[in-house]
Every structure is written in C-alpha cells, then in structure tokens.
Amino acid sequence: MATLNLKQVEKTYANGYKAIHGINLEISDGEFAVLVGPSGCGKSTLLRMIAGLETISDGEISIGDRVVNTVAPADRDIAMVFQNYALYPHMSNYANMAYGLKNRGYNKDEIDRRVREAGTILQLTELLDRKPRQLSGGQRQRVAMGRAIVREPKAFLFDEPLSNLDAKLRVDMRLEIKNLQQRLGTTSVYVTHDQVEAMTLADRLIVMNGGVAEQIGSPIDIYNTPATRFVAGFIGSPSMNFLDGRVSNDRSHVVLTDGTRLALDHNVAENRDVVVGVRPEHLSITTPTESSIAAKVRITESLGAETLVYLTFGSKNEAITLRMQGTHTYAAGDELTLYSNPSQIHLFDQASGRRI
Amino acid sequence: MKRVQFGHSPVPYLFVAPQIIIIAIFFLWPAAQAVHQSFLLEDAFGMSSQFVWFRNFEDVLSSPSWLKSAGFTVVFSTLVAVLSIAISLFLAVRADEVIRGAKVYKTLLMWGYAVAPPVAGLLGIMLFNPLMGDLYILFNKMGLDFNHIQNGNDATFVVVLIAVWKQVSVNFIFFLSGLQGIPKSVTEAATLDCKSPERRFWTITFPLLAPTTFFLMVINLTYAFFETFGIIDVSTKGAPGGATATLVYKVYVDGFLGADMGGSSAQSVLLMIMVSVLTVFQFRFIERKVHY
C-alpha cells in the first residue's frame, strides 16, 4: 500500500497528438480515486501510464516514494484489472492467479495459500480448476480481480472493469469492488465513463476532459459545486439544464433569452453574459410567479419511482429536463411553470465555462 | 438421439455435387486405380498384365532405393516442417513488434507466397549454378567445398533451403494473424505479471499460438511430402543418385519414367497409408493438447 503521486504528467503520441496536458494528482494511501470522463478524454491513457503500458512523455509518476517513469510494468508493484478481463485462456483459473506470483519467485505453499484465500474471498473456490472460458462474465471478472488481489500490490488499477457486464451484475460487482477495496485498504485508481459508478465508488473523483483534470474532489462536492460547465453537465443524471442569460443591472436577477427573470443570490457583476445551470431534480412545478420559467412538455418518461419530463423553453426552443418524484402524466404541448431555489442555481461564464 | 429430418428434396445434393464429383474424379477414382494396379505386373508397353498379389509391395519394401528414399523423405519433411515453422514464427513475432513501416515488412515477407514451387526451384538452381550461382560461389569462397551435384548432403541442403524459403511466407501469414488474434490486453496483463519477455513468449504467446502451430505442422508435412515435387523436379531431379528423391518423386520416376506401373502404384499406396497414419496420429494425440 502506498501513495500515488503524479506531477505535471503529460503524454504526447508520436504523431504529435497530445493526450494528457499536465496532470497533478496525489492519491493518498488506501484512497479510492476514480477517473471519469467521456471517451477520448485521456482517462485510460493516464491509467495506462501509471501501469507502465504507455510511456510518460513529461512529468513524474511515483508510487510510494519511488519515481517509476522508467521502471518496467512488472516492477511497479501494481495490479491491473482490464475491461475484457484479459485472462490467459490456456490456463486454469488457479494458474491465472498464480502466474504473477510464480514469475516473482514465490514458493508453492505461499502461492497456494494466497490463491485459495483470494478464491474464498471472491467465492471462486469451486471454479479454480476450470478454465476461463467455462465461466460467466461476472465470474471471469472475479478471477481477474483475484489475479490482482493475490499479488498484494501497492495499488490496484481498474480499467472500466464493469463495462462488459450486464446492468444487474454491474451493480452487484460495483458493491463487491467497493467492499473489497475497503476491506483490503489498497490504494486504487478506477477508470470509468459511467458517472453512477464514479459517484458511488469514489473517495475522490477526478473529472477529465480533453486531457485535462477539470475538477478533483469528493463526489458530493463535485455534484454540489461543479467547477466548470463541462463537469456540471457530465456529473448527474439526467444532465444539468443549461440556459443562456444575462445578469440584470441590479444583480438580483438573471434575464433569460425570452425575458424570463430568475432570482439570484449570487455575487456576480451586472450585465454579464452567463450560462444558468439547474439540475432536473432541483426544478419544481409552481404557480406562475415573478421568477418562474414557462415551458412546454415534449415527452414524458415514467420510471415508476420518478418521472422525467422533457420540455422546451422560449423562442429558441432550449431544452429543459424536469425530474419529479412519483408518477405524473402530461400530454405533449402542456405548459408547465417551473421554479428553482436561487441557492440551487449555478452560474457559469459563457466564454470560459468556469463557475461564477 | 433426436434426428433432424429434412424433406427429401434433391436440392441439397445438387449443392454438394460439385465437391463430391471433384473428390470422386480426382481422388477416389485414381486412388482405386492405384490400389488395383499395385496388385498387377504389367509389361513395359502396357500390352498385358498379370495379377501378382503382394509381390509389388514385397519388391518395394525390400528395395534399397525405396528405403533410401523413405529415409530421405523423413529427414527432408522434418527439416522442412521444423525449420519453416521456426523461422516464420520468429519473423512473425518480430514483424508484429514493428511499429514504423510495419505494412512494408509484412507485405515483403508474404511475397514468397505468390511464387509457384517450380519457380522457387528455378530460383534455387540459379543461386547454386556451379558457374554463376551466387550462393555456390560464396560457399566455395568460404572454403566449404560445396558441391550439390555430387554430394548428397549438399544437394539435400539445397532442396531443404528452397522448400523452406517457399513455405516460410505461408506460415508467416498464419502466425501473424494468430499473433494479431491474441487480445492486446492479455499481452498487457502478461507484461504486468512477468518481467522477462522470453518467459512471456514461452508461457503466454506460444501456448496461445499452439493451435496455429499444430495446423501448420499438418500443412507443412503434407507440403513437404507432396508439394515439394515441383521444387525437386526443377532443381535436383532427385540427384545425385536418388539422394534427394522424396517418395512422391520416386513414384513419378519409377512409374512414368521407368514404366513400372505396378511398382509405382504399390509405392503410392504405401505413401497413402503412411500419410493417413501420420494424420490420424497428429489429430488423435497432438490436437487435444494444443486447444484451449
């Protein structure tokens, strides 16, 4: 177990494409860090750089107190779990787990003890003699985790380990991974594009976009105070609503494109062009007031416990999503009046996307 | 057991008919002819024949030249199969690692595939021509006293070299696609589990290529047995003194040049039996061990 330190880490490919633009990150001992972002944001590249599967173009990565930039992957004392399991198909599950230990010169008894122990933890005891192809997807991923656990490494690296599983299994495995990590207390870095996975697993969330860490923080902090418009839109499902607007002269309101005025309690310069962000779950239906939005229903999705209403607003047909508890039915074209508490309104700079 | 019953439509038979006809005309019929003829003793002009039971087989099996040819075939086939598999595996692994200009390497290495065996044989005798062959001159300048016209071992070297060169490109294609069929993440997982690249090759890559290797072994042995005919016919013609005549080549020489149809047929029946036994052996005892 160890801390993981990234200092100004950069990755430039041979063709000149810059995948990672100087990332600084300190993951403390036993912490569960999750890298989340859309495809192509560089999250997997960063993980692979920590693993040693990609070279580091600039900056420094250290595991524990050791800089590992030029250390071979096998010597970095990390273990990785891959999206497609990456088990050795010609070996039994037992041999799959034992392989890394065998190559590191552990004696047979020690290997056997560790593999059996991991087998018990992951409920694989009955399956150890079988080959990977005889297992289901979930079981294979457990073997892959077993292969990581037996090594007792300084850090676990997870590269979208649940993406190949079906929805139900994904939820179960997510809990299992969380349990396991808390029980073993091993520093972990987890890459995913699924923001639910990210929110539920992370002690610390790193939201990446275009090779840059847009925001680093606890999942709840990021949800409550997203640093940029991108983060605000990426974290939370359904996504936050964004409406263009301009701060009024007296700074008490923001004026939307159709002239609707929303009350503010933000400290913001007058006449500034802003993007107003409101989460679907922070909108509610009210009677028309000074500070309400009138929008037309487009589609309603009933999920039982909650209802998602998709609406359009104003002359530019800006999209708004509303999330309500319980079941409600609206017809397309119905007009609803929406309200949000000023404290739950986020403002972003129109040009830079930064939070105001 | 439940059997699926299809209607008795003749259409399916029409679909398989071309294949059946080809097998019947080009394999079953000649094979039957060969078996029949192997029991006959025919005069040199094919005017009369006599049923002689197993005398042709007795003659063949007690003939020193046939035993010599059988010995050569075993040595030749083993050398060709092992060398061409080993060399092409090495080349495929190296070519798979190349990043810059990978396509050029791969295309160049596959080119040999387009060369017909007799053309390969022709290239071979040109390289070993005693007057102007580059390799012949080079070997003799190195003081090797190389003479494939008179020395059986040197002649064997020449035919093995040509046959291997011709086959390497075929094997290379299969190995390369086999290597590319190994998921990248498996190789990467191995990089994290094992530091030594050699050890990784022998414990992960090679076992994963085992089905390909097995397939190529069967293909290469068949190649060495039968398809090298063209190479031998163009390059050494079995010389010196039958030292480079494979069993197939000897069947041709004895039957078509020597006009001993009965003896030649007996040889080809024996060859058929040998190859069948070899193939059955390969599938029964080796195939099971290579699949994962």
Give me the CATH number covering residue B187: 1.10.3720.10
Domain encompassing residue B258: 71-291
Residue B194 contacts A where some CB pair is shorter than 8 Å: yes
The CA-atom distances, in angstroms, between A119 and each of A95, A148, A187, A249 are: 12, 12, 21, 67
Tell me if B185 and A74 make a contact (CB, 8 A cut-off): no
Closest CA to A354 of A239, A229, A266, A269: A229
Sign of CA dihedral A287, A290, A292, A293: positive
pLDDT confidence bin for B227, thresholds 50/70/90: confident
Rounded Cα gap, residues B196 and A284, in angstroms: 62
Sign of CA dihedral B249, B255, B259, B263: positive
**Residue B208 is nearest to which of A53, A90, A99, comparing CB atoms?**
A90
In chain A, where do the E strands start and end? 4-12, 18-27, 32-36, 58-63, 66-67, 78-81, 155-159, 187-192, 204-209, 212-217, 241-247, 253-256, 261-263, 273-278, 284-285, 293-302, 306-313, 318-325, 335-339, 346-349
Query: For A203, which DSSP code?
Result: S
**Chain B residue with Cα closest to A51:** B192
Sort out which chain A residues have CB atoms less than 8 A from B208's CB and list them: 88-90
One-letter amino acid of B230: G
Query: For B168, which DSSP code?
Result: H
**Chain B residue with Cα closest to A82:** B185
Residue B134 contacts A where some CB pair is shorter than 8 Å: no
Tell me if B193 and A100 make a contact (CB, 8 A cut-off): yes
**Residue A86 is nearest to which of B183, B195, B292, comparing CB atoms?**
B183
Residue B263 lies in a domain: yes
Sort out which chain A residues have CB atoms less than 8 A from B192's CB and list them: 51-53, 73-74, 78-80, 100
Tell me if B190 and A88 make a contact (CB, 8 A cut-off): yes
Tens of each residue's pLDDT in chain A, 356 residues: 689 999 999 999 988 899 999 999 999 999 999 999 999 899 999 999 999 999 999 999 999 889 999 999 999 999 999 999 999 999 999 999 999 999 999 999 999 999 999 999 998 999 999 999 999 988 999 999 999 999 999 999 999 999 888 888 899 889 989 999 998 999 999 999 998 899 999 999 999 999 999 999 999 999 999 999 999 999 988 999 999 999 988 888 898 888 888 888 888 888 889 999 999 999 999 888 878 888 999 999 999 999 999 999 888 888 999 999 999 999 998 999 998 888 999 999 998 989 98
Contact A86, B187 (CB under 8 A): no
Question: How far A285 CA lies from chain B's nearest CA (Å)?
Answer: 50
**Residue B192 is nearest to which of A51, A90, A131, comparing CB atoms?**
A51
CA A344 to chain centre: 22
Tell me if A103 and B292 make a contact (CB, 8 A cut-off): no
Burial call B41-70: b when 16+ CB within 10 Å, e when fewer: bbeeeeeeeeebeebbbebbeebeebebbb
Tell me if A80 and B192 make a contact (CB, 8 A cut-off): yes
The structure tokens listed for B134 are 């580059």
Residue B189 contacts A where some CB pair is shorter than 8 Å: yes
pLDDT confidence bin for B264, thresholds 50/70/90: confident
The structure tokens listed for B234 are 């163009």
Tell me if A52 and B191 make a contact (CB, 8 A cut-off): yes
Helix or strand holding residue B49 (H, E): strand B49-51
Residue B126 lies in a domain: yes
Rounded to the nearest 10 degrees, the angle between the axes of helix B55-62 and helix B64-97 is 70
Q: Say how many domains are in chain B.
A: 1
Find all residues with CB under 8 Å of A199, minimum gap 6, and list them. A205, A219, A223, A235
Contact A268, A247 (CB under 8 A): yes
What is the edge-to-edge ordering of all strands in the sheet holding A261-263? A261-263, A253-256, A241-247, A273-278, A346-349
Which of B98, B182, B193 would best serve as a mutation to test chain A binding (most A beta carbons within 10 A)?
B193
Q: Worst-scoring range by mean pLDDT, B63-67, B73-77, B105-109?
A: B105-109
Write out residues 11-50 of B within 8 Å (CB-CB) of A: none
Closest CA to B263 of B28, B65, B24: B65
Residue B26 lies in a domain: no
Residue B63 contacts A where some CB pair is shorter than 8 Å: no
Confidence at residue A322, expressed as pLDDT on a 0 to 100 scale: 94
Tell me if A103 and B185 make a contact (CB, 8 A cut-off): no
**Residue B267 above 80 pLDDT?**
yes
Residue B189 lies in a domain: yes
Average of per-residue pLDDT values in chain B: 86
**Chain B residue with Cα closest to A92:** B292
Quick check: helix, strand or coil at residue A153?
Answer: coil
Residue B37 lies in a domain: no
Phi, psi of B119 (to 5 degrees): -65, -40
Residue B23 lies in a domain: no
Residue B3 lies in a domain: no
Sort out which chain A residues have CB atoms less than 8 A from B211's CB and list them: none
Burial group, residue B276, by CB count within 10 angstroms (0-12, 13-18, 19+): exposed
Alpha helices in A70-225 (DSSP H): 93-103, 108-121, 137-149, 167-184, 195-201, 219-224
Find all residues with CB under 8 Å of B189, minimum gap 6, and list them. A80, A82, A86, A87, A88, A147
The CA-atom distances, in angstroms, between A234 and each of A207, A224, A279, A330, B220 are: 8, 13, 11, 27, 57
Closest CA to B237 of B132, B147, B159: B159
pLDDT tens digit sequence for B190-206: 999 999 999 999 999 99
Rounded Cα gap, residues A86 and A288, in angstroms: 58
Question: How far A246 CA lies from chain B's nearest CA (Å)?
Answer: 50
**Residue B236 above 60 pLDDT?**
yes
The structure tokens listed for B161 are 């070299």
Residue B205 lies in a domain: yes
Contact B279, B69 (CB under 8 A): no
pLDDT confidence bin for B145, thresholds 50/70/90: confident
Sort out which chain A residues have CB atoms less than 8 A from B196's CB and list them: 103
